[in-house]
Chains A and B, each alone.
Chain A
Amino acid sequence: MNVPLTRRSVECVSDLTIDRWLLGETPGSDEARRLEQHMQRCAVCAARLGSLRNLYSNQPDPVATTTARALEAPPRPSPAETGVLQVIVMRDGLLVGTEYFTPGRWVVGSAPGADLTLIDGPLGRHAALTFHAGTVGLEAREGVVFVNGVRLQRAEVRPIDEVWVGPYALRVRVITERWSWPAMVTQPLPAPPQAGPTIVEPPTPQDTRLEVSMWWGDTRVSTCCATDRLTAGDVAALGFERPVLASRGALGRWDVTTPSGALTLSLHEATAVEHGTLKLLLKVTGAPAALGRAPSRERLFPAVLLSTLVASAALLVSMPERTDDEDFSPRPLPAVTIHVTPPAPKPPTPQPASAPDPTSPPAVAAKASPRHQRASPPPPKNRFEALDRVMRSATSATAALTKLGSPGARSRRGPAGPLVAMPGVGAPLLAVGVGTHDSTVGRAGARLGGDMRGGGYGREGKVGGLVVGPVRPAGLSLPKKDGGHVDRDAVAKVIAEHLQEVQRCYEASMLLEGSSGGRLLVEWTIAPSGAVAQAKVASTSLKQASVPQCVLTALRRWAFPKPKGGNVVVSYPFVFQSSSFR
């Protein structure tokens, strides 16, 4: 096995973490919890986990097995050679016996040469069973055959069908081994013999579909299903990097184009495309109505089964998933919630200096500092001037602003830096500091968001997080209905949990682009569902071009708490410090 000098995605977990989890060294720890959460959304790591789990449970190593299989290239069984047919014979409601058949054509009757001899049954070669490609067909020859009570000449027989031959009732069952790779087709196969009784009428193009799944060894990584055609986009969406196309042709066959050539798949045939350790499996399956079936008494059975499954699935989804070593106990969080008031609906109008709006930022500053009120300064020309004014009077305004913004955080964590009230355009704007010290980074080496403190405007060296309310400080226009509020500590917690991904983005860029510190201001919108609706880089002073895109890619996958009342825009600066790294 040659290990290339490449890395998995930046947010992927290491083999050591997976190994320790598999071998029971980290039960119930934060590390295990993060791993389990990551496994739910990362197919690559889930595949890696499955591969290692197989290895440690004394299963054959999928990677090694795949390699050996590729080297030795044993002949795969054809579709007609898979499985064993079991016929269960009953009479008068009692089990008479069972018989097993390999794929082929077998005679049922009481004739001396019959393959399934029914003593005391009808004479001669009564019927013929055909077992081919996992499908069982029945053909009446010298006698009469009833399937589910209806007399038929030819029919496909399923396990739920009941076949009557004279006084005997037969049931069929197809036994396959432990699931194995379906037989692979490497070249177009001849059409199945039309004389066979398996298929009463050829399937029409609407009757087959192509099941597409991606596998890592024997572990299914992802699945999709194409109904009429498979495009390169579908394959890429699965995570498979080789171009594979497929479209349905005549008689329900599928024309598949793979990097190694084109081939045609018939019903119940499959092929696989390998790329590295991943395999893309393409399998043609038939819809139940495709084959000429006997009239079924169990017409309602699939519907009942389906509804039961749906109900069970809904019950399972509604129930919290628990395993023995999972730790989903609620973590005690301080109940600090900042409600950001939506802006007043009136349009921005200039406020006269003599009668300041009590909600305007200069008034906020004035309220914080009575001396300012006495001075009655002229209204600021723009928000930055107003902000500078506030910051200049920070000694006295800090306490008032802090009191305005985040009493909970202040009381819990001590003075957390000034909370900034930025003047909006004729409407109040509130910005609250995230205020957390949960960062685990910020030690040696690259220093990332080490000192996260509430507010950061104009304070060099402090890294701040802003949960910005309905009015954007940067002047971006957002509809007013976007005003919502969200628990800022919960947002900070999500950011802190994912800081490792940001860290890895930075580390990954070090090798190729060198290292230098900088500040990356990211803005994103949290939709009411908690997902990131849009994310962008507001400003960056980083020299590494790959870091912002990497951070945005990771950020779009984060799940935030659901805001109430609409979207919430979050602005958060990540500061990378690399003091003496080359």
Chain B
Amino acid sequence: MPGIPSLVSKASVTATPAAADLYQRYGALVLRRARALLNDEQAARDATHDVFVKVLSSLEAFRHEASPVTWLYRATTNHCLNVLRDQSRRGRVVPLLRALPPDAAPSLDERLSLTTVLARVPDELREIAVYYYLDQMSHEEIARLTGLSRRTIGNRLVEFHAAAKLAADAKEAVR
């Protein structure tokens, strides 16, 4: 019976090439989306590592995935949204409206930042909003990805937009 150290070394030897390949192939993809969602370079790198830990823990399932990119999209999104929720619980203050040059006259949608709005809306709206605004997916793509109906996608996006405007209006009123 091999000892624990030998098992660990064997596991690490067998896992290393797969992990390295996966990371090399999909690491930039995950990091790019985490960076966009978290708006923090260090947090994005941490999130990337966490996502790949999840991948390695369910490596066999991942290998049989029809579209690893789609799987990683969902995993990254859910993980980053959890991180954002934890941050808001810890009271991390992020400005709601983006700082833009004074000469620009942007609409409210341009001033609102996805990251900051995400922290202020209910959970069920956030994932869909990420796909819609960050990844520029259509309703049909989101429906395929999440398994929800297109009607539900449309409903939730309307709710998200209303919630974002409500948050912005409240912010303006406080000023």
Contacts and interface: CB of A to CB of B under 8 A. Distances in A.
B15 interface: no
Contacts of A3: 36, 113-115, 133-134
A14 interface: yes
B73 A16 contact: yes
Contacts of B103: 259
B115 A515 contact: no
A48 to B, nearest CB: 9
B79 interface: no
A69 interface: no
A507 B138 contact: yes
A335 to B, nearest CB: 32
A443 B70 CA distance: 22
A52 B30 CA distance: 12
A354 interface: no
B46 to A, nearest CB: 17
A582 B141 contact: no
Interface string B154-166: 1101100100100
Contact of A445 (B39, B134, B153, B164): B153
A357 interface: no
B163 to A, nearest CB: 11
A5 B112 contact: yes
Contact of B155 (A55, A56, A581): A581
Given A3-B113, A25-B68, A445 B32 contact: no
Given A12-B136, A16-B70, A16-B135, A2 B98 contact: yes
Interface string B82-95: 00000000000000
A503 B137 CA distance: 12
Nearest to A2: B113
A580 interface: yes
Given A2-B39, A55-B32, A511-B157, A444 B135 contact: no
A582 B138 contact: no
A61 B29 CA distance: 11
A471 interface: no
A446 B152 CA distance: 11
Given A5-B117, A56-B29, A61-B32, A20 B157 contact: no
Interface in A482-519: 500, 503-504, 507, 510-511, 515
Given A20-B70, A443-B150, A14 B138 contact: yes
Given A23-B29, A504-B138, A507-B139, A445 B117 contact: no
A75 interface: no
Interface in A40-92: 52, 55-56, 58, 61, 64
B112 to A, nearest CB: 5
A14 B141 contact: yes
A381 interface: no
Given A23-B29, A510-B154, A581-B154, A2 B114 contact: yes
Classify chain A: how many residues form its interface, as a range: 35 or more
A17 B132 CA distance: 13
B112 A4 contact: yes
Contacts of B123: none
Interface in A347-388: none
Given A4-B110, A16-B69, A16-B141, A445 B136 contact: no
B169 interface: no
A460 B145 CA distance: 34
A16 B140 CA distance: 12
- With a 10 A CB-CB cut-off, give which of A2, A15, A58, A511 has the most chain B CB atoms: A2
B67 interface: yes
A160 B40 CA distance: 52
A14 B135 contact: yes
A344 to B, nearest CB: 47
B36 A1 contact: yes
B136 A4 contact: no
B69 A20 contact: yes
A504 B67 CA distance: 24
Contacts of B138: 14, 500, 503-504, 507
Interface string A545-582: 00000000000000000000000000000000000111
Given A56-B28, A61-B32, A19 B69 contact: yes
Contacts of B28: 55-56, 58, 61
A446 B150 CA distance: 8
B150 to A, nearest CB: 3
Given A1-B39, A23-B29, A16 B137 contact: yes
A445 B135 contact: no
Contacts of B135: 14-16
Contacts of B70: 16, 20
Nearest to B101: A259
A443 B150 CA distance: 9
Contacts of B154: 445-446, 507, 510, 515, 581
A23 B114 contact: no
A58 B24 CA distance: 9
28 contacts: A2-B114, A2-B115, A3-B133, A4-B98, A4-B106, A4-B114, A5-B133, A7-B136, A13-B136, A14-B135, A14-B138, A15-B134, A16-B135, A16-B145, A23-B29, A55-B28, A58-B28, A61-B32, A64-B35, A444-B149, A444-B151, A445-B149, A445-B154, A446-B150, A503-B138, A504-B138, A510-B158, A580-B151
Given A3-B115, A23-B69, A52-B32, 11 more contacts: A2-B113, A2-B114, A4-B110, A6-B109, A16-B137, A19-B73, A445-B139, A503-B139, A511-B161, A581-B154, A582-B158
